[in-house]
Amino acid sequence: MTTNTLKKLCLVALYFAASLMTGGAQAISLSQVPLFVGAGVDPNLMFVLDDSGSMRVGFMPDGLTSNMLIGTSSDCYYDSSTGTYNDGYYGGQFTCFYYVNNGREFLASSHLNKQYYDPNKTYSAPPRGDKTNFPDVSFTNAPFNGYDSSSTTTDLSSRYRAIMDDLNLKGFYDNGNYVSGFAISTNAAADSAFYYTFDGTVSGCDTNPYSDSCYTRVDVTQQSDAEKQNFANWFSYYRTRIMSAKAGIGFAFDAQPEALRVGYGTINTSNTVVRGVRQFSNVSGGSQYRQQFFNWLYGVDPYGDTPLRRSLGDAGDYYSITDSTGPYSSTPGVSGGTDYECRASYTVLMTDGYWNGNNPAVGNEDGTDGTTITNTSGDTYQYKAGNPFTDTYNNTLADVAMHYWKNDLQPGIDNKVATSQKDPAFWQHMVTYGVGLGVKGAVDPANAFAAINDPTISISWPDPAKSDSAKIDDLLHASVNGRGGFYSAGDPQAFSRQLSSVLAEVVDRGKGSSSSIAANSTRLDTDSLIYQGLFNSDGWSGDLLAYSLTTSGDVITKPTWSAATKMDAPTDDEVLQTKTSTTPNGRKMLVADASGGLVNFIWSNLDSQQQAALNLQDGLGADRVKYIRGDRRLELSQGGKFRDRTSRMGDIVHSSPAFSGREGFGYQDLPGQEGVTYNAYRSSKRNRREMVYVGANDGLLHGFDANTGEEVFSFIPSQVLGQLPDLTNPNYGHHFFVDGSPIVTDAYLNGAWKTVLIGTMDAGGKEIFALDVSDPNNPSLLWEFSNDALGEGVSEASVVYVKDSSTATGYKWLVAAGNGYNSVNGTASLLLIDMDTGGLYQNVTVPGAANGMAGITAISTDTPYVADTIYGGDLQGHLWKFNQDSKDVWQVAISKGKTPLPLMTATDSSGNPQPITARPDVSLNADGDLMVFFGTGKYLGTSDVTDLSEQTIYGVIDSGSSLVRGDLQQQTIDEQGSFTSGSTQIPYRVVSNNDRGSASGWYMDLISPVDGDQGERSVVRPVLRGSAVLFTTLIPSDNPCNGGGSGWIMALNLDNGGRIDGGVLDLNGDGVVDDNDLVKNNAGDYVPASGLGSEHIITRPNFLSGPGDVDIGHASDSAGNVQRFNIKGDGSTVGRQSWRQIR
Amino acid sequence: MNKIKMTERRYLPEKQQGAALVIGLILLLIMTLLGITAMRGTTLQERMSGALKDKDIALQAAESALRDGEQQVETVVAPDFSVAGWYDSGDGVTRPDWKNNPDDPAETGDGGVIDYSGSIQWKHAPQYYIERLPAVTEDGASGSMALGDGSAKEEYSFFRVVARGFGNNGNTVTVLESTYRR
């Protein structure tokens, strides 16, 4: 057994050991969720249900009434020996109950009556709201009302009777039996359960489908048990409009996350609102707000008119409540909450009919311009009456919707509601969604909504007072005015689907991004793709999106591919298969076996230790393997035992994707055989599959085809194997798995060039692994490394070629990394791992306890591409320089006597040390001085969010001496303002431009001239581009409306940290950096801006060389957007370089 | 005396008459030769200037094609080497041999060429092909010096464009080459 094997076996158990080890007092807290998550502001949703009397009926659509009336009311009269029914009365016409002896068989067939039992549909028992469903109904003991546990029951095999309209039968007793909904009679007219099927081939049925001759009776008692069951469920849960609506609403809301505040009401309730918005959750031992919703829903008993206009107005009035218990408060219903200026409010108005009742007296709101609304960011908006919003009618439903849209419902708070193309309202307003059940208007909804942004479409609204159809158009009109959506479902199933899509639109949030963008090229081309990793904290799903770019570098909004979509497409059976050419939808999910090779992650391939780690106490290891492979049948909602997922793809938080294709790394310049053979290796990459790799917190490193998004393979590091059961736990609290950023580069191993992937875990654990991905279809494991010196929070490593006189070639390939935090000794060190064996090559520790080394940067100062100097910063504010002594042993480069000294000691103006948690970067200035750039600050644990200590960005010259703040030239952020470009305001900063003189570098304290100390820090690696160094800074925020915080891109002259002559930022975004990008400073001069603000936390930008002398930057932000900006290119001469005539 | 003189005189006019004819004939011959020579020179000069013009047409045609190729390099695509006229360094595909065989319209290499379609009616349309040169290492002075962090150190930024243009005479060819950086 090799050392490797031994190490491997230990890794499985290491997770448990690691959790014990970090218990020390000096442990550095690393948050296990993205720090800006949980800070979001959940939207309000007021659900208004139509409880008018028509909801009690058992037919749909309303048009059927004209054929239900036969002759006079006496035809509908039920004559029994024990009593008489009144006539059914609905929609201005006599209707009546239906029973088998008086014809009108179409009413008992789903062909025309969409409410009646359809043998082709499955009627599932609805959810109770507590993650269980109502029971399947007994055919012989079916409750009249399945939603009421005390309901009377009937035997459907003999006592079934279809009554289409019980509105006027409510409360009627027949022969001692309560008539409820579909009445069941004990008298002679009762029968066995039945339905009719339609036969369109019978002559005349195409023109008159109401004729009894078109229908054939089916006796349910003669059908299979499954069909009896289905019929019984329909009878108890679906047979009337209100019952099927309850089921549809129940299913739709049951699928919603807790990150939503739901209120509810019915249109016949005084003031409509039954309960105001509350968090859609059940607090253990506390308020059962979620359950309350379902209890209310299932208890609704319709009776009354359809006063929609008043009800929508009531919902709007509710959203206008301004006290601390109101709908904008963080504690609705309880005083003392905080009103958040970015909370969105929605009202979903559901109806089956045509409005009547109260006149709301709002006037012609959509025909009248609104007042001008502003906010503190300088946005202004005024509603201008126009197409497609305006009509000439007063007091319509659309006028009510417009009233609560165009007016600021919360004038006392700032206006920062997120806007969209459809809804530009940034003030607190009500968005109206209309959902119709079995009703239709004349105006095309798609057209009406398209008209909002397309002036060529003209919509003419009919007068709602004139016809019923126009009242449905008015509901659509209200949805357009309220910038929501409109759905009109012809049957209960479609209603449920459409309500679900409404809720999905409302809840589409919780997503974010915390990792950098990767691109498949360094230059903007027509086939350029950029890759963005995303997470969604609702259910911890994730995605990797590939976006195409326009020729000017803009991101095309619709992703070219989505990894989650691709992964969710195969069936549960398919994902359990191993991916081969015949099973392309299978998964190649790999894990190390005991011999250090890779095996497919299948239960039978695992050794006993691995199986034990997955079995826990319950022995469900084999199912866990299937669940991790993506078998959704094992999830709770599908009858399994494991956590519900929203996607097979897990969340991507800190792992930045890495592209691997045909790129070269310059190794042809290496000495020896390596350099000689590199060009041939480069050429051999020509036909290689292009890949993008990313780590996710579903326990996997994923390898996707960079052009199609197909998952080519995935890999489970041994150390996370033991943590995988956490993912299956229904009470899973998020933690990190494979959260580090993989790097992919070339290395010469065992006499041949290989492409290697080095993976890290970041806050997910203490392992570094290396895969050979030279053939992405058949990756192999090189090694997995763990060591006492290795801590957590290692976000990325480097592969370096260094001098080593002890080897035959005189050189050696190593993996270099800072050791991270919470290593066993709690010290900071430079870790060097032997690339060939995966063993520890050298661990260079620096002084200081409770410390940790962040990412490192290796450079070459002598032989090209041979690393001889490494820089890295630690938690105590020391930037260390490492080099090799005469025997090629790595050491701290600067020392006084035997005391190692850092290259730079970072302190703030009061002398407090400033932690370095990001990788430095290194470049030469124009004088040829080696300059190291780094920022300070920490954003690792929850306490860091509120830490306002002063942080700084630095550019220091490495001349071999140890530096302090006083050795550097100070630059300051002098001005901060807002640049107007078209209708947008772009925040900018102007910095000082002090001459560096003979100082050994520069520093700039991150103190805003407007807001002062606000905890601004720089926790990502700077970017070097031409003569500029770009720092990305982060300002955490307690205010959840800020999405966790904001940030700046600071583009500075790398030599002195000041301004760059002529400017570097394309502030107005016109594609060139010129005089139009200058800003007027306080002295009245036009100067270049050096800072570009973002309202969200932004990640390190990725740059593409663009057309002309412009570089295009893309940065992912904490709201999950891709931000795009331009900077000046590096100025290299492009165009024709030579010309000659050959003939 | 007179008689003798007269006799002598008698002879002379006869001789003079014959010489004039000969001289006239010679002069006529000279004139003819001169005329013919002048005519031949003019024709030659006409021919010479025609070839020059044709060569100029070929040069302009080749330059047009060359610039079109450079435009392609600058704006169009991520090189798709399966498209006719695009060659990658080291792909082993035979290029058109326009150095040795410039006027053969069929000389288009194994990877094809791209016709330049201007508004002029050409005898043969000008043609070009584009060859991507090996990736070059970006110098460290303007950018990160970091090694082994997975970022590509090279960029394909140089291209060679070779173009040929024909005169009105299919035998008049100009071949041009440029190196273009994007």
Secondary structure of A335-404 as H, E, C letters: CCCCECCCCCEEEEEEECCCCCCCCCCCCCHHHCCCCEEECCCCCEEECCCCCCCCCCCCCCHHHHHHHH
From first to last of the 182 residues of chain B, give the pLDDT tens digit: 444 444 445 555 555 556 788 888 888 899 889 888 888 888 888 888 888 888 888 999 999 999 999 988 877 546 778 889 999 887 889 999 999 999 898 999 999 999 988 756 677 889 999 998 877 766 533 478 899 998 877 677 789 999 999 888 888 899 999 999 87
pLDDT given for residue A5 in this prediction: 45
pLDDT at A12: 42
Query: Taking CB atoms and an 8 Å limit, are B148 and A1025 in contact across chains?
Result: no
Q: Are A1024 and A933 in contact (CB under 8 A)?
A: yes
State whether A1142 and B149 contact (CB < 8 Å). Answer: no
Q: Is B109 exposed, middle or buried (0-12, 13-18, 19+ CB in 10 A)?
A: middle
What average pLDDT does the segment A575-589 reach?
94
Helices A468-481 and A397-406, packing angle to 10 deg:
10
* Angle at CA of residue B7, ends B1 and B10, nearest 5°: 140
The answer, yes or no, to whether residue A1113 has pLDDT greater than 70, is yes
Of A53-57, A459-463, A567-571, A1091-1095, the one with minimum mean pLDDT is A53-57
- How far apart CA B149 and CA A860 sit, in angstroms, is 13
Check the CA dihedral B140-B144-B146-B149 and report its sign.
negative
DSSP character string of A1023-1091: EEETTEEEEEEEEE-S-GGGTTEEEEEEEEETTTSS--TT-SB-TT-SSS-SGGGEEE-TTS-EEE--E
- Asked if B142's CB is within 8 angstroms of A1027's CB, the reply is yes
Give yes or no for residue A1114 having a pLDDT over 80. Answer: yes
Q: Which A residues in the span 811-840 are in contact with B, Cβ-Cβ below 8 Å?
A: 816
DSSP structure class, residue A509: -
CB nearest B99 (choices: A666, A865, A1142): A1142
Per-residue confidence (pLDDT) for residue A318, from 0 to 100: 94
Cβ contact, residue pair B148, A858, below 8 Å = yes
- Residue A257 is predicted with a pLDDT of 76
CA distances from A390 to A396, B105, B150 (A): 11, 68, 57
In the sheet with A840-846, reading across from the earlier edge strand, the strands are: A798-803, A811-818, A828-834, A840-846
| Sheet with A1122-1128, edge to edge strand ranges | A1102-1105, A1110-1116, A1122-1128
Q: Could you tell me if A655 lies within 8 Å of chain B, comparing CB atoms?
A: no
pLDDT at position A181 over 60? no
Average pLDDT over residues A525-546: 87
- As a whole number, mean pLDDT of residues A532-545 equals 88
- Measured CA to CA, the distance from residue A948 to residue B12 in angstroms comes to 135
Strands B86-88 and A380-382: unpaired
pLDDT (average), residues A98-107: 62
Asked if residue A673 lies in contact with residue A555, where contact means CB atoms within 8 angstroms, the answer is no
pLDDT, tens digit, 9 for 90 and up, residues A424-482: 898 999 999 998 887 778 899 888 988 888 888 899 999 998 888 888 899 999 999 99
* Among the listed residues A858, A810, A865, the one whose alpha carbon sits nearest the alpha carbon of residue A675: A865
In this structure, the strands spanning A1028-1036 and A1023-1025 are: antiparallel
The dihedrals phi and psi of B59, each to the nearest 5 degrees, come to: -65, -45
Average pLDDT (A614-619) is 89
Q: Which value does ipTM take for this structure?
A: 0.79
Residue A90 banded pLDDT, cuts 50, 70, 90:
very low
The minimum CA-CA distance between A1089 and chain B, rounded to whole Å, is: 21
**Is residue A867's pLDDT more than 70?**
yes
- A interface test, pick of B74, B91, B142, B161 with most A CB neighbours within 10 Å: B142
* pLDDT tens string A243-298: 999 998 998 888 787 778 999 999 988 888 899 999 888 887 888 999 999 999 99
Question: What is the SS3 assignment for A518?
Answer: strand
- Cβ of A1137 within 8 Å of Cβ of B180? The answer is yes
Tell me whether residues B148 and A796 touch, CB distance under 8 A: no
Cβ-defined contact of B146 to A798 (cutoff 8 Å): yes
Under the banding of pLDDT at 50, 70 and 90, the label for residue A499 is confident
**What distance in Å separates residue B105's CA from the closest CA in chain A?**
15
Asked whether the beta carbons of residue B178 and residue A865 sit closer than 8 angstroms, the reply is: no
Q: pLDDT averaged over chain A?
A: 86
Q: Which residues of A touch B134 (CB under 8 A)?
A: 679
Give the residue-averaged pLDDT of A866-886: 96
Q: pLDDT tens digits, residue range A20-34?
A: 333 333 577 788 888
Please tell me the distance from the alpha carbon of residue A1119 to that of residue A510, in angstroms, as a whole number. 8
Q: Is A1136 on the interface with B (CB under 8 A)?
A: yes
pLDDT value of position A189: 55
Q: In A, which residues are within 8 Å of B152 by CB distance?
A: 522, 663-665
CB proximity B92 to A under 8 Å: no
CA distance A813 to A769: 15
Beta carbons of A766 and A792 less than 8 angstroms apart: yes
Nearest to B146 among A922, A1141, A1142 (CB): A922
pLDDT at residue A361, rounded to an integer: 85
What is the pLDDT at residue A131? 79
pTM check: above 0.80: no
Query: A115-124, A569-578, A706-715: lowest mean pLDDT where?
Result: A115-124
- Provide the number of CB pairs (under 8 Å) joining chain A to chain B: 141
- For position A473, what pLDDT does the model report? 92
Strand partners, A45: A262, A346
Q: Which residues of chain B lie closer than 8 angstroms to A744, CB-CB?
A: 150
Secondary structure in 3-state letters for chain B: CHHHHHHHHHHHHHHHHHHHHHHHHHHHHHHHHHHHHHHHHHHHHHHHHHHHHHHHHHHHHHHHHHHHHHHHHHHHCCCCCCCCCEEECCCCCCCCCCCCCCCCCCCCCCCCCEECCCCCCCCCCCEEEEEECCCEECCHHHCCCCECCCCCCEECCEEEEEEEEECCCCCCEEEEEEEEEC
Chain B residues within an 8 Å CB radius of A527: 77-78
Q: Which amino acid is at B23?
A: I
Chain A residue at shortest CA distance from B76: A526
Enumerate the residues of chain B whose CB falls inside 8 A of the CB of residue A663: 152, 154
Q: Indicate the residue of A798, A1027, A1105 with minimum beta-carbon distance to B149.
A: A798
Note the pLDDT tens digit of each residue in A836-856: 999 999 999 999 888 999 999
Report the pLDDT value the prediction gives residue A3, as an integer from 0 to 100: 45
Model confidence band, residue A86 (pLDDT cutoffs 50, 70, 90): very low
Q: A493: part of which helix (H) or strand (E)?
A: helix A492-507
For chain B, how many residues are written?
A: 182
Would you call A1137 an interface residue with chain B, using a CB distance cutoff of 8 Å? Answer: yes
Residue in the structure block whose two tokens are 């990797």: A544
Q: Would you call A1141 and B176 a contact, using CB atoms and an 8 Å cutoff? A: yes
Cross-chain Cβ contact A521/B90 below 8 Å: no
Contact between chains at B182 and A666 (C-beta distance less than 8 A): no
In A, which residues are within 8 Å of B154 by CB distance? 663-666
Report the length, in residues, of chain A: 1143
Question: Is B144 close to A858, i.e. CB distance below 8 A?
Answer: no
Residue A419: pLDDT over 50:
yes
At A814, which helix (H) or strand (E)?
strand A811-818
- Rounded to the nearest angstrom, the minimum Cα separation between B88 and chain A is 10
Q: Are A102 and A178 in contact (CB under 8 A)?
A: no
Q: What's the CA gap between A821 and A261, in Å, rounded?
A: 39
Minimal C-alpha gap between B112 and chain A (Å): 19
> Any chain B CB within 8 A of the CB of A525?
yes
Contact B146 A526 (CB under 8 A): no
Contact A858 B78 (CB under 8 A): no
* pLDDT in the model for residue A982: 76
Q: Which of A122, A164, A138, A159 is nearest to A236 (CA)?
A: A138
Cβ A858 vs Cβ A898: under 8 Å: no
Nearest beta carbon to residue A1130 from set B74, B134, B142 = B142
Q: Is the pLDDT of residue A178 over 70?
A: no
